[in-house]
């Protein structure tokens, strides 16, 4: 197909503003799916997406639409809205020339609306504002259009007004895409350059690579080369998503599709790589993507030790499908062999865990999450670490630095005081306040990332009755008075329960943590001491009393010395048990660190 009849665009918005519903209507109006096949969130095919009702993975689809006697091919990508999946959005934008910015007709511009709009502006895309949900009984359409102009700086005079649920204004939306989004550039006769923007693993066909053709033409049966991976393959099949996979004979400049080349090695395909022809190579690769920085880390261990290799395989498959997830092997005295996994945020971590348990059927023990810290040692060396167990002796540390995030809140004006108090309690530094109208405001703070990831979002929603939203980006590391909080169970250090806290809150956090552990660890035949310590100084202690069997129950009447003898024998047995007995720590105990963090 000629590039002038192709349009590539992304659908971007804040969470729950109607991206997936609009995608469904575009498929329906273009005839890509029938009324019979139509159902809510057609493109959200992962179990976790159906369970939670959110988009986790960006999905690329090609549809054909006839306009003024010409057939246009519209390639669009439905993207996630949550802050944890912003990397998915930025990757999608790099494969497009335009974007539909969807805004709720009542809620208006929210935190992720702003973040995604700026990402699209940075990528130099043509942005079309779309006001969705105009069928709601209460709307603020004119105010919302003002917000688009004042907050984001886009001209909203020609914004499209639609109701994705009712199918109102969809044709106007498609016409605006054809008229206003520029056609892709590219020479079909030039050496092939195709950008790898995603991939997934199929058990029967190997790795399915998603590509956007930038230059040249890719044909079925071509011999291709991955420039970064330096591997050569014969193409078995190429095709497009319409929305299911449909094979085709060739893909030209501007088109997006998939390649199946029989690749079974998961580590050979890299998102951001460039595909070229083996016989006629491109001189230089495409710029690709910035490497994502994982900011939240936790340990994942199989409940059954024999599942270790299975877990490794499933993590490999997950990393292929999600470039922002990483993992490395690690061992723990308490939990055995497992992996240290890196995520962009807490929701990202929960999604990966849920997918592993549902799709792969792997039982997991997950340790409490930690952010990445920076340490300057006395030797002058600066190291980064994400595992509290790796923190060196305090005498060797010159400076302990924590990650700082710039957080933007959009909230009702009458809740400013409550949110400012929330930020002050979490060591926040106030930046500015900007009123976005009579009843809405934007607050900007700098906060330690560790104070944001656990429950900041939940607390914000609670304080603002669901109307507050937040977006954050990590801006660097800053020195802080931090300490490593160790947990000892029966005098033994349990590395998997260690955490890094601010010195001012360490005693409160330590007390809350051992109390939580006391609730989660069941009684044993011997007394179990739970201690929280900073270095060699114990700052909190709880004791789980022993289960006691009444050994004198059968001794009624008679000499008291017989009872004493039995009690003495029991005492010796318990003392021996205390020496050699193992304490079982359940999965919930590792996650109780989170609960203690909230309570503390």
| Cβ count near 235 (within 10 Å) | 18
> Vertex 445, ends 440 and 447: CA angle to 5°?
140
The sign of the dihedral angle between the CA atoms of 29, 32, 37, 42 is: negative
CA-based nearest residue to 226, from 215, 237, 234: 234
For residue 144, the Cα-to-chain-centroid distance in whole angstroms is 29
Burial classification of residue 553, based on how many CB atoms lie within 10 Å of its CB (0-12 exposed, 13-18 middle, 19 or more buried): exposed
Neighbouring-strand partners of residue 528: 544
Report helix, strand or coil for 371.
strand
- Specify whether the CB–CB gap between 256 and 238 falls below 8 A: no
C-alpha span between 52 and 82 (Å, rounded): 12
Q: Omega of the bond prior to 243 within 30 degrees of 0, cis?
A: yes
Residues at the annotated binding site?
A: 16-21, 132-135
Torsional class of 596: left (φ above 0), alpha (ψ -120 to 50), beta (otherwise): alpha
C-alpha span between 139 and 579 (Å, rounded): 69
Residues at the annotated binding site for GTP?
A: 16-21, 132-135
The sign of the dihedral angle between the CA atoms of 242, 247, 249, 251 is: positive
Per DSSP, helices labelled H in 149-200 are 170-180
Contacts of 203 (CB under 8 A, 6+ apart): none
Contacts of 394 (CB under 8 A, 6+ apart): 483, 484, 535
User: If you ran DSSP here, which 8-state letter would residue 480 be given?
Assistant: -
For residue 210, the number of C-alpha atoms closer than 13 Å in the C-beta half-sphere is 25
Burial classification of residue 296, based on how many CB atoms lie within 10 Å of its CB (0-12 exposed, 13-18 middle, 19 or more buried): buried
Cα dihedral 41, 45, 51, 52, rounded to 10, equals -60
Beta strand 370-371 with 382-385 is: unpaired
**Could you give phi then psi for residue 325, rounded to 5 degrees?**
-110, 140
C-alpha span between 505 and 501 (Å, rounded): 7
Tokens of 505: 């809150």
């Amino acid at each position: 197909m000629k590039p002038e009849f192709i349009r590539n665009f992304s659908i971007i918005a804040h969470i729950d503003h109607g991206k997936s519903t609009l995608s469904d209507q575009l498929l329906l109006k273009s005839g890509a799916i029938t009324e019979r096949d139509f159902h809510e969130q057609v493109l959200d095919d992962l179990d976790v997406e159906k369970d939670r009702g959110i988009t986790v993975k960006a999905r690329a689809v090609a549809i054909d639409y006839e306009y003024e006697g010409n057939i246009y091919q519209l390639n669009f990508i439905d993207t996630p809205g949550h802050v944890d999946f912003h990397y998915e959005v930025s990757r999608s934008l790099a494969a497009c020339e335009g974007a539909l910015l969807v805004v709720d007709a009542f809620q208006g511009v929210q935190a992720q609306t702003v973040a995604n709009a700026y990402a699209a502006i940075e990528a130099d895309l043509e942005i079309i504002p779309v006001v969705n949900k105009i069928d709601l009984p209460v709307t603020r359409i004119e105010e919302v259009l003002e917000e688009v102009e004042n907050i984001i700086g886009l001209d909203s005079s020609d914004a499209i007004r639609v109701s994705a649920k009712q199918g109102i204004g969809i044709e106007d939306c498609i016409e605006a895409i054809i008229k206003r989004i520029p056609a892709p550039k590219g020479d079909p006769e030039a050496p092939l350059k195709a950008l790898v923007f995603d991939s997934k693993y199929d058990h029967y066909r190997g790795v399915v690579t998603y590509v956007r053709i930038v230059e040249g033409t890719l044909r079925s049966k071509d011999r291709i080369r991955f420039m970064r991976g330096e591997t050569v393959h014969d193409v078995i099949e190429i095709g497009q998503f319409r929305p299911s996979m449909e094979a085709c004979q060739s893909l030209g400049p501007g088109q997006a599709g998939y390649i199946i080349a029989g690749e079974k090695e998961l580590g050979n395909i890299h998102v951001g790589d460039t595909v070229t022809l083996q016989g006629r190579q491109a001189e230089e690769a495409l710029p690709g993507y910035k490497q994502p920085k994982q900011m939240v880390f936790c340990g994942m261990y199989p409940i059954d030790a024999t599942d270790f290799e299975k877990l490794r395989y499933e993590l490999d498959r997950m990393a292929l499908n999600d470039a922002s997830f990483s993992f490395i092997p690690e061992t723990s005295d308490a939990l055995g062999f497992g992996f240290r996994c890196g995520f962009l945020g807490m929701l990202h971590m929960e999604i990966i865990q849920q997918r592993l348990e549902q799709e792969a059927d792997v039982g997991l023990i997950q340790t409490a999450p930690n952010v990445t810290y920076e340490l300057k040692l006395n030797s002058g060396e600066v190291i980064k670490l994400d595992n509290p167990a790796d923190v060196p002796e305090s005498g060797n540390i010159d400076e302990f630095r924590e990650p700082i995030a710039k957080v933007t809140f959009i909230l009702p004006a009458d809740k400013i005081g409550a949110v400012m108090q929330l930020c002050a309690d979490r060591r926040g530094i106030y930046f500015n306040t900007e009123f976005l109208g009579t009843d809405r405001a934007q607050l900007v703070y700098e906060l330690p990332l560790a104070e944001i990831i656990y429950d900041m979002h939940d607390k914000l929603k609670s304080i603002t009755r669901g109307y507050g939203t937040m977006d954050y980006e990590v801006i660097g590391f800053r020195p802080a008075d931090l300490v490593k909080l160790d947990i000892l169970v029966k005098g033994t250090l349990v590395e998997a329960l260690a955490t890094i806290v601010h010195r001012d809150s360490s005693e409160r956090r330590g007390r809350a943590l051992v109390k939580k552990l006391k609730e989660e660890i069941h009684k044993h035949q011997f007394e179990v001491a739970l201690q929280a310590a900073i270095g060699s100084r114990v700052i909190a202690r709880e004791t789980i009393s022993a289960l006691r069997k009444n050994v004198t129950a059968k001794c009624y009447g008679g000499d008291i010395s017989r009872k004493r003898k039995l009690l003495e024998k029991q005492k010796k047995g318990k003392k021996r048990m205390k020496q050699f007995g193992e304490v079982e720590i359940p999965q919930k105990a590792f996650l109780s660190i989170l609960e203690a963090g909230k309570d503390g």
